[in-house]
Amino acid sequence: MTDLDGAKKFFRKRGWIREFFDRHGVRAGDTVTVEEIAPYSYRVAPQRRS
């Protein structure tokens, strides 16, 4: 569980990010969406490459 730092615009706990990038094949230059689905709850998803 983590939340976004409102001023700095990054996740406070970031240990899961490397695994997320590896699992989804995200590389530099790819787009990842962050959607707030409820207060303090976010959906993070890679955008599919065409």
Which ranges in 1-50 belong to alpha helices (H)? Answer: 15-24
Distance of alpha carbon 42 from its chain centroid, rounded?
A: 8
3-state secondary structure of 28: coil
Per-residue pLDDT tens over the stretch 2-48? 666 667 767 766 678 888 889 999 998 999 998 888 887 888 899 97
DSSP state of 47: P
Per-residue pLDDT tens over the stretch 35-47? 888 887 888 899 9
DSSP state of 20: H
Burial class of residue 19 in the structure, from the number of CB atoms within 10 Å of its CB (0-12 exposed, 13-18 middle, 19+ buried)? exposed
Range(s) of the domain holding residue 29:
4-46
- Output the pTM of the full model: 0.64
Number of domains forming the structure of the chain:
1
Which pair of tokens denotes residue 30?
């790819």
